[in-house]
Amino acid sequence: MSEPVAKPKSSAALVQSRRNALRSYLGAYGFMAPAGVLVIIFFLIPVAIVLYLSVTNLASSNFTSDLAKMEFIGLKNYQTLLNDQFARKIFFNTIFYVLVTLSLFNVSLALIVSLLTTHIDRSAGFVFRALWILPRITSPVVYILIWKRMMAEAPFGILNQFNEFLGQPTYNYVATNPWVFVVVVNGFIGVSFGMIIFTSAIESIPKDLLNASLVDGSSRMQRIRYVILPLIRWPLLFVVTYQTLSLLTSFVEIQLLTDGGPGLYRTEVWSLTAYHRALSNYFGNAQWGYGSAFAVLLVMIGVVLAVIYMRVFRFDELVAEPRVEAL
Amino acid sequence: MEIRIDNLTKKFGDVVGVEDLTLHIEDGEFVAFLGPSGCGKTTTLLTLAGIYKPTDGLIRFGDRVVNTVQPKDRNIGMVFQSYALYPHMTIFQNIAYPLKLKKAPKNVQNEQVRQVANVMGIGELLDRRPGQLSGGQQQRVALGRALVKEPDVLLFDEPLSNLDARLRLTMRGEIKHLQKNLGITSIYVTHDQVEAMTMADRIAVMNGGHLQAFDAPDELYDRPKTRFVAGFVGNPPMNFLDVEVSPANGQFLAQADSIELPLGVERGEASAGHRGTVVMGIRPEDIQIVDEGDVRGEIFVVEPLGREDLIDVRIGPHSFILLADTEKQHRAGELVSLNFDMTQAQFFDPQTERSLLWHQ
């Protein structure tokens, strides 16, 4: 420009620069659109619907084709929920289930499996890890059926056939020890995720560093403690946080295995309750509104936890640079 | 600590890392393993460290056979090319790590770490983390960590390769000085023959998993036992030429096409006894450009190195690398006469590639 004095931009120039900004935004939004549409259709809209349902009394008993007659009842569902005599039990069931499964299997066993399989012959390690992925890639229905058939009473259960053969009493093991099986069955599935993350983290530790530790005088156990574990701290935190959220919302396996029983709510967890109340009530009355209130609370807990995790463990940094490589 | 390696073989499945290696290293000696990548030098080093178990053969530290001894029980210090500092520990913790594993009391750790750090000139860096240090500083820390436990043997795995040229020169001197002062038996793996030549008491030249020679640097340079050693040691490398050696007038003559070089009796007899052609080797510094001479060639290219010019002279199909004074200002295309100092020429069997002059 030959004009040295800065003039206010003409309206044409303003429109032009806005158009440019818009164009650059369009590119970015364009690339995000496919994922965005999925999130909107399968997450945001359902959440909105559930939120709305949770403040209505919609149920199969009062359902008419005229949805306009659906009654708005405010927070009454939530009030009922808090006074529900079983809500407390289900809440603690959920905490128990998440903490025990997470600590014993999704983190500890996953860590043990990845440490063991990275300390043996490479191809043997690969085979073992492949076996541990089987529960994850098997259809849940098939997987649970296998467990049930193994543990069922004679003459169906394989283990009990031995008992019968030996003249021992036979049990339905799932019914006698429901929590053990709920945790183990889910844990076996949960191992694979942490195992994959931990293994790749361990294998990306430079060989020199591992050799240096041995030469410096550490045993293999000391090397795990002083070198490997500190170096995979970030993947560890990631698995803990991610799997907490994922366990909190999982219920398919429990539904198929015990359906929350045996007895009243013995192994019922929060997400399963939401399903039961809304869609599969024993008495045949599907309380869509009330069940939605359960679901909404779960979503809220999940969102709060996610935000805390992102703050505390600084996920933005975790995503920004791969920690193990940043040596 | 005296180290005796006898008939060491290390295989990875069918791949041979090192085969039938026999080496005896004296107490306090500084030995370099020299060779191109994949020659087995690092494999040998890691086997000495106990990271690899030998497939065959014996390794003795002093009188003790250490074949199956865990690395932690060998009392060795090791310095890596990548420095291999623990990124999650401070410099202090890095150096103290071997002492911590030995369960040394805290005050002893503190004292020894500071002492080593002062020797290495990194005393003021102890609170930092490896990521905050320069390459040279990191290498000093790595050296300090290797020294702090007062090892019987020091192993170096190309420790200077990641440093810039200038720093490499300084560290070279420092490591050599330190090694001589402390008198710790040291093995130094490198592919840089200048490093090996300048630092080591003796050099083990390796190629393809086999030991080619194990000698003092000047011995390797002046009396190479194989063609590989002759070609690998020395920079710029030795010139090779296929020649026929025959007696002539009480002397001998080495001949290749139009090139005829008179040869003394001693070297002539050793190489003329061989039927057909032999491989003659002659170092760049043993060829001079002279005013008058029998061998004439044309300068193909001149590469100025600053202190001298590296000149490629072509004689017919043959090419010779030689060094000349920059003041002579030689130019490509110039016709020159060459004088070969044949008292320094080497001769090798073309099949076995062994020297015809120096037998084991």
ipTM of the complex: 0.82
Contact present, A275 and A291 (Cβ < 8 Å): yes
pLDDT, tens digit, 9 for 90 and up, residues A131-152: 998 888 888 899 888 888 888 7
Show the domain range for B317: 239-348
Whether residue B223 is contained in a domain is answered as yes
Q: Which B residues, 108 through 137, put their C-beta within 8 Å of a C-beta on chain A?
A: 130-131
Whether residue B73 is contained in a domain is answered as yes
Lowest-confidence range among A81-85, A290-294, B37-41, B144-148?
Answer: A81-85
Q: Which residue has the tokens 């808090």?
A: A82
> Does residue B303 sit in helix, strand or coil?
strand
Domain boundary among B232, B248, B269: B232
Count of pairs with CB atoms under 8 A, one residue in A, one in B: 68
Q: Return the pLDDT at A268.
A: 84
Is the pLDDT at A1 greater than 50, yes or no? Answer: no
Whether residue B79 is contained in a domain is answered as yes
Distance, CA of A168 to CA of A150 (rounded, Å):
17
Mean pLDDT value of segment B111-120: 91
Whether residue B353 is contained in a domain is answered as no
pLDDT above 90 coverage of chain B, percent: 54
Domain boundary among B232, B251, B266: B232
Residue B98's nearest CA partner among A226, A123, A81, A156 is: A226
Any B CB within 8 A of A324 CB: no
Contacts of B280 (CB under 8 A, 6+ apart): B240, B241, B242, B243, B254, B256, B271, B345, B346, B347, B348
Whether residue B360 is contained in a domain is answered as no
Whether residue B199 is contained in a domain is answered as yes
Contact present, A216 and B145 (Cβ < 8 Å): yes
Contact present, B30 and B179 (Cβ < 8 Å): yes
Å between A246 CA and nearest CA of chain B = 30
Do B32 and B151 lie in a common domain? yes
Complete domains list, chain A, with CATH: 74-320 (1.10.3720.10)
Do B16 and B164 lie in a common domain? yes
Residue A7: band (very low, low, confident or very high) from pLDDT cuts 50, 70, 90? low
Q: Return the pLDDT at B184.
A: 93
Which one of B82, B99, B112, B145 would you mutate to disrupt binding with A, by most A Cβ within 10 Å of its Cβ? B82
Q: Which residue has the higher pLDDT, B23 or A234?
A: B23
Q: Return the pLDDT at B146.
A: 93
Distance, CA of B99 to CA of B155 (rounded, Å):
18
Query: How far, in Å, are A207, A209, A232, B145, B218 from residue A204 at the CA level?
Result: 8, 11, 10, 23, 43
pLDDT, tens digit, 9 for 90 and up, residues B204-225: 999 999 998 899 999 999 999 8
- Asked if omega into A262 is within 30° of 0 (cis), the reply is yes
HSE-CB at A264 with a 13 A cutoff on CA atoms is 5
Distance, CA of B202 to CA of B196 (rounded, Å):
8
Distance, CA of A315 to CA of B341 (rounded, Å):
71
Strands B30-34 and B202-207: parallel
Whether residue B113 is contained in a domain is answered as yes
Do B11 and B160 lie in a common domain? yes
Kindly state the helix (H) or strand (E) to which residue B36 belongs, with its residue range.
Answer: none
Any A CB within 8 A of B84 CB: yes
Strands B30-34 and B185-190: parallel
DSSP A19: H
B263's tokens: 């040869």
Do B243 and B194 lie in a common domain? no
Which one of B70, B73, B88 would you mutate to disrupt binding with A, by most A Cβ within 10 Å of its Cβ? B88
Amino acid A259 reads D
Q: Which B residues, 243 through 262, put their C-beta within 8 Å of a C-beta on chain A?
A: none
Q: Which residue has the higher pLDDT, A213 or A20?
A: A213
B119's tokens: 């020797």
Using an 8 Å CB-CB cutoff, list chain A residues near B81. Answer: 208
Facing A215 at nearest CB: one of B78, B88, B130: B78
Do B216 and B247 lie in a common domain? no
Do B144 and B190 lie in a common domain? yes
Whether residue B270 is contained in a domain is answered as yes
Contact present, B321 and B282 (Cβ < 8 Å): no
Q: What is the largest CA-CA distance in chain B?
A: 80
Is the Cα torsion angle B144, B149, B151, B155 positive or negative in sign? Answer: negative
Domain boundary among B198, B217, B232: B232
Alpha-helical (H) ranges within chain A are 11-39, 45-53, 76-83, 87-101, 110-119, 122-137, 140-151, 158-165, 173-176, 178-203, 207-215, 220-223, 229-231, 233-249, 252-257, 270-279, 288-312, 315-320
Quote the crossing angle between the two packed helices A110-119 and A178-203, to the nearest 10°.
40
Distance, CA of B345 to CA of B223 (rounded, Å):
10
Contact A215 B81 (CB under 8 A): no
Is the pLDDT at A323 greater than 70, yes or no? Answer: no
For residue A271, the tally of other CB atoms under 10 A from its CB is 22
Residue B49's nearest CA partner among B120, B154, B139 is: B154
Is the pLDDT at A319 greater than 70, yes or no? Answer: no
Alpha-helical (H) ranges within B223-272 are 227-232, 265-272
CATH number at residue B222: 3.40.50.300
Distance, CA of A283 to CA of A86 (rounded, Å):
17
A302's tokens: 């999940």
Do B226 and B271 lie in a common domain? no
Contact A209 B77 (CB under 8 A): no
Amino acid B264 reads G
Q: Which residue has the higher pLDDT, A309 or B211?
A: B211
Do B247 and B295 lie in a common domain? yes
Is the pLDDT at B203 greater than 50, yes or no? Answer: yes
Q: Which residue has the tokens 């056939």?
A: A161
Do B59 and B32 lie in a common domain? yes
Residue B77's nearest CA partner among B179, B150, B27 is: B150
Contact present, A115 and A232 (Cβ < 8 Å): no
Distance, CA of B261 to CA of A272 (rounded, Å):
96
Mean pLDDT value of segment A233-258: 86
pLDDT, tens digit, 9 for 90 and up, residues A63-118: 777 776 677 787 878 888 788 888 888 889 898 999 999 999 989 999 999 999 99
Do B148 and B223 lie in a common domain? yes
Do B214 and B325 lie in a common domain? no
> Does residue B294 sit in helix, strand or coil?
coil
DSSP A72: B
Any A CB within 8 A of B53 CB: no
CATH number at residue B255: 2.40.50.140
Length, in residues, of chain A = 327
Is the pLDDT at B37 greater than 90, yes or no? Answer: no
Any B CB within 8 A of A95 CB: no
Strands B3-12 and B15-25: antiparallel
